[in-house]
Amino acid sequence: MFSFGIASKLRKIVGSDAVLDRPEDLMLYEYDGSLARGAPRYVAFPQSTQHVSEIVKLANREGLAIVPRGAGTGLSGGSIARKGGIILAFARMNRILEIDVPNLRAIVQPGVVNLDLSNALMPHGFYFAPDPSSQKACTIGGNVAENSGGPHTLALGVTVNHITGLEVVLPDGKITQLGGKASSAAGYDLTGFFVGSEGTLGIATAITVKITRLPEAVATLLAIYNDVQDAANTVVALTSEGITPAAIEMLDGWTLRAVEAAVHAGYPLDSAAVLLIELEGLREVVDEQAEIVSQLCRRSGAREVKRARDDQERQLLWKGRKTAFGAIGRISPSYYVQDGVIPRTRIPETLRKIEEVSKKYSLTIGNIFHAGDGNLHPLILFDARNEEETRRTLDAGREILEFCIGVGGSITGEHGVGMEKQDLMCTLFSDSEREVMHRLRKAFNPDSVLNPQKVLPGARTCREAVAPGHSSVEAPVLAGAEQR
Amino acid sequence: MNQATGTQGDIASRFERLLGADAVIGDPERLQKYSIDGQSPETVLLPNNAEQIAAALKVANEENWSVVPFGGGTRQHVGRSVEGVDVVLSTDRLNQIDAYDPGDLTISLQAGATVSRVTAECAHHRQLLPIESFPGSTIGGALATASSGPLRAGFGGLRDFCIGISFITADGLSGRGGGRVVKNVAGYDLMKLMIGSYGSLGVITSANFKLFPSPQQTLTCVCQFDTLAEAFKFRDWLLKSPLSPISAEYIGPEAAEYLKDNQPRDPDDWDPEARITNDKRVWQVAVRFAGSDRALARSRSELGSRVVQEINPNDEVDFWNRLATFEQRLSSRHHNPMVFQLEVPPAESENALTAAHESASEYNFVAAIVGRATLGSFVVGFIPLAIDPPAVTQFAGAASALRGRLSKDCSAIVLRCPREAKQHFDVWGSTPTDTALMQKVKRALDPKGILNRGRFLVV
């Protein structure tokens, strides 16, 4: 049988224990962290760059799509096998190939878990700066594909600012190199261009990252507010005063109560919002800045500012922030996370807008922000089994993102476009601007073998998106609403 | 070679009809100002906006006329000799600050705005746009040439703080990447692609940047060493220390001379040998810190006795400007220097600089070097000896000798050398990045190869 033939060819490449093709095994790979869903025909676990190259060549011969996948924690459907085909799962390419302290670099395989790299660097006095909330599970390969951020990217930059070289398997199976250990190289910066391309240009099989020295001192402050607008104004004040903490996170009252119930991080249950502010650097500088920031928070209306006394208290505060999405999962059957970005001066009015949307659509919306970057994560609670509620949820999400675009912002700060926000690309970019991106994708991936129907919408999608009264949200997103 | 089909009169009158007579320069005397590495263009266009640039490029692409984008003209010496200059496309009239929101620490700029004007405007609000380039350079030019200087150690390069870019492709499509917010992953990162593409993919029309609060005060300490090895041992110590300098600049013994005063001398009054034999040979690393009194006091005490000099705060700006413009200062003092941009993995710096000195002396040059010690990014000047100066082919020989001594991850781009020497070797050299893929990218945005024809690493 045809399909049996492909499975056995895959087994020949990667080994008999490294291919899944039975429907019950494939089910797990229909999802990522988004609402999207799509079933692959095969899942293969390559163990080397050579394996990846051979599988890609096989897919070309057989006319199958390839979708690379790290830990499947993505929030925009980037690793969903939208057109079936083969999922390349990188769980077995998880070795740290080299830690090169003199050059301030490490080379890792794509399946290395983000936090595992930082833990391995810690004895040397270094870490990997990008720290997505899913860092205990998500992989560096996935971080490269999505150009992932995290709370501490405020001062140190997102993934692309920490990548200098990539070994890449191209959509025709060719193994090639972009950049290396030097900070820059002659010619086009294809390394920088590749990061954040969501698996549509090639597959990274070895990643050269910058490593960052651990700070001498860290201070974590928790500023507590009775009014969410005061918290928002504090962020505006911090930015315009020129204070750049390592992180400024914001949780609104509803969210922090949900988190507190799950994690007991020590968040005040009666407050309207908290800011979690972290300062890093020389010991005396951190102490000095902690004092300045505390005063500024109080002047902006904080009723109390607490500083974590020790590392344990600090970790607990962060645990609350980083497991927030999971905590929401305890109280709602489903939730829909937005990833809009706005200029930081617009945070107060955007919060008011979200509240308005919440009332208009009769939905509970929790707010959890990378406030220092203006990167919002409104969490819309709903029940995916209720089709009408699901539709309302998607409409509410869309209205929030359209507002973000309207104030000069973006539809995604770190989660990626994937298949979830393709239709909004029609609003954000003109036909000509999308055509330029299409041309570049074609230069790398002419037959769309790699991650087809992602990031850039087809011409049809954009025509429908602008047609009045037509819901442009595509069917797979609706069908795939995840239940928790 | 030049495949242009039009004569000067044809080209100029075609564009006069398209853009208006005041946007076209055809007068040979005025064209001189826009000469590209010795070649005078047929026509210079001064479009008023991005739409006019798109219209002009569409015509040029149809007619297969070669186009050279032009900002301040301070780095037009870089690259291979361009194969014919039918049209110079100047961004002179796109010189506005489109939006500046100090509260948000972001700014939107047209490509032709000069770096000096914009940085002054930011400084007025006690904010910093850490672009370092030559006097007269524009935002578009700085982006196209990935211009950077000593501040890159502390604030990153353009790729780290340019948050949005707009450009016109060779065939007139408007392209855009990013936006006006500091974090954004919607669509491909076209900022990275355009930065350092030397006008070979499109004409940059505007860009947005993240700004930084200006440091309230800074401290510059000069540390001095007896050997190159000791200087880099200090660099290793610095990287492991808790200190975070905003600049850490290596200054080789031959380079110090070019940083002394503010007045470059005439090359004809200059005798390089005299200087080298008179000076005591010392290797220096200049380190600059920013922050509060306590931060600076701590930095000072960590450095301890390594410091031989603290630069007077009133002289700091000049001191760092001279380092940022080292290539220009060196080039204005000598006939026919060759200047490299050397990019190496940080720990290979010492070997690479030793290689530079060896290669220079083998071919009758003296190497004068400054650069970002912590990043592995250096400006290497090869100064021809006055007695027995190198022949044209010896420039090629010296470049090959240096490149042959470097590992595969390194780049040694020749930014400047005599025009006649360029025919004997490739000024770009090798790169770790797949050039076949670069070629495909070039074709995607410039299908006929009209932009900077023959000039970039891929054509």
ipTM: 0.95
Using only the alpha carbons of chain B, give its radius of gyration.
Answer: 22
Provide the CATH number for the domain around residue B176.
Answer: 3.30.465.10
Distance to chain A for B168, nearest Cα, Å:
10
Lowest mean pLDDT among A221-235, B260-274, B329-343: B260-274
Question: B274 and B374 share a domain?
Answer: yes
Q: Same domain, yes or no, for B112 and B172?
A: yes
What's the confidence (pLDDT) of residue A6? Answer: 96
Q: Do B283 and B322 fall into the same domain?
A: yes
Confidence of residue B383 (pLDDT cuts 50, 70, 90): very high
Residue A484: the pLDDT is 28
Mean pLDDT of A444-464: 90
A196 inside 8 A of chain B by CB? yes
Residue B270 has pLDDT above 80, yes or no: no
For the CA atoms of A5, A198, B441, B178, the dihedral, rounded to the nearest 10 degrees, stands at 170
Taking only the tens place, the pLDDT of each residue in A78-99 is: 999 999 999 999 999 999 999 9
Query: How many folded domains does chain B comprise?
Result: 2
Average pLDDT over residues A157-173: 98
Same domain membership, residue B360 and residue B242: yes
Tell me what the mean pLDDT of segment B83-90 comes to.
96
Is the per-residue pLDDT at B3 higher than 50?
no
Q: B340 and B384 share a domain?
A: yes
Q: Is residue B365 part of a domain?
A: yes
Look at residue A328 in the predicted model and tell me its pLDDT: 87
Using CB atoms, pick whichever of A177, A185, A288 lies closest to residue B294.
Answer: A288
pLDDT mean over B358-376: 97
Q: Which of B178, B194, B213 is the last residue of a domain?
A: B213
Contacts of A156 (CB under 8 A, 6+ apart): A129, A130, A162, A212, A246
Query: Is residue B177 located within the same domain as residue B275?
Result: no
Chain B partners of A170 at a C-beta cutoff of 8 Å? 437
- Cβ of A157 and B160 within 8 Å? yes
Closest chain A C-alpha to B169 CA, distance in angstroms: 8
Give the Cα separation of B66 and A259 in Å (integer).
Answer: 61
Residue B182, in any domain of the structure = yes
Same domain? B187 vs B282: no
- CB-based burial label for A62 (10 Å; 0-12, 13-18, 19+): middle
Distance of CA B232 to the CA centre of its chain: 24
Distance from CA of A147 to the nearest CA of B (A): 7
All structural domains of chain A with their residue ranges: 2-89, 96-213, 217-326
Please tell me if residue A253 touches chain B, with a CB cutoff of 8 Å. no
Q: What mean pLDDT is reported for chain A?
A: 92
| Closest CA in chain B for residue A181 | B345
Which carries the bigger pLDDT value, residue B273 or residue B443? B443
pLDDT band of A482, cuts 50, 70, 90:
very low
Q: Does A99 touch chain B (CB under 8 A)?
A: no
Shared-domain flag, residues B310 and B395:
yes
pTM for the predicted model, two decimal places: 0.95
> Is residue B438 a part of any domain in this protein?
no
Tell me, yes or no, whether B276 and B186 share the same domain.
no
Judged against a pLDDT cut of 80, whether residue B267 lies above it is answered with no
Task: Decide which of B180, B213, B246 is a domain's last residue.
Answer: B213
Q: In this predicted structure, what is the pLDDT of residue A223? A: 97
Cβ–Cβ under 8 Å, residues B428 and A187: yes
Please count the CA atoms within 13 angstroms of the CA of A304 that sit on its side-chain side.
11
Q: Is residue B381 part of a domain?
A: yes
**Are the Cβ atoms of A187 and B181 closer than 8 angstroms?**
no
* Gap from B18 CA to chain A (nearest CA, Å): 21
Mean per-residue pLDDT for A377-387? 93
Q: What is the mean pLDDT of residues A351-357?
A: 96
Residue A67 token pair: 């979708």
Find chain A residues with C-beta within 8 A of B156's C-beta: 157, 161
CB contact under 8 A, A105 and B185: no
Question: What is the CATH T-level fold of the domain A2-89, as seen in this structure?
Answer: 3.30.43
Q: CA of A142: how far to CAs of A71, A212, A453, B58, B344, in Å?
A: 7, 20, 18, 39, 27
The band of A4, judged by pLDDT with boundaries at 50, 70 and 90, is low
- Asked if residue B394 and residue B302 are part of one domain, the reply reads yes
Dist. CA B412–CA B422, nearest whole Å? 15
Give the residue-averaged pLDDT of A210-232: 96
> Residue A106 forms beta bridges with which residues?
A99, A209
Q: Is residue B23 part of a domain?
A: no
pLDDT score at B269:
56
- State residue B268's pLDDT score: 57
Contact A24, A57 (CB under 8 A): no
* Chain B CB within 8 Å of residue A455 CB: yes
B162 and B259, same domain (yes or no): no
pLDDT at B223 over 50: yes
Question: Which chain A residues have a beta carbon less than 8 Å from that of B411?
Answer: 182, 184-186
Q: Which fold has domain A96-213?
A: 3.30.465
Query: How far away is chain A from the Cα of B68, in angstroms, using its nearest Cα?
Result: 18
Asked whether residue B60 is assigned to any structural domain, the reply reads no
User: For residue A57, what are its two tokens?
Assistant: 């060549």
pLDDT at position A338 over 60: yes
B341, part of any domain: yes
The confidence score (pLDDT) of residue A34 equals 86
What is the pLDDT confidence band of residue B277, given thresholds at 50, 70 and 90? very low
Across A139-298, where does the E strand assignment appear? 163-169, 175-179, 203-210, 212-213, 217-225, 247-252, 273-281
My answer on whether B415 and B369 are in the same domain is yes
Mutation to test the A interface, candidates B166, B183, B341, most A Cβ within 10 Å: B183
CA–CA gap between residue A187 and residue B132 (Å, rounded): 20
Gap from B280 CA to chain A (nearest CA, Å): 30
Token pair, residue A284, equals: 């005396």
Which CATH number among 3.10.28.10, 3.40.50.2300, 3.30.70.2190, 3.60.150.10 corresponds to the domain A217-326? 3.30.70.2190
Instruction: Summarize the confidence of residues B326-344 as an average pLDDT.
Output: 95
Q: Report which of residues A203 and A323 the model is more confident about.
A: A203
- Paired strand residues for B412: B342
Q: What is the CATH number of the domain that holds B326?
A: 3.40.462.10
Q: What is the pLDDT of residue B2?
A: 44
Is the model's pLDDT at A1 over the cut of 50?
Answer: no
Instruction: Specify whether the CB–CB gap between B307 and B247 falls below 8 A.
Output: no
Can you give the residue range of the structural domain that contains B124? 105-213
Stretch 207-246 of chain A: residues touching chain B, C-beta under 8 Å: 213, 215-216, 236, 239-244
Where a domain ends, among B179, B213, B247?
Answer: B213
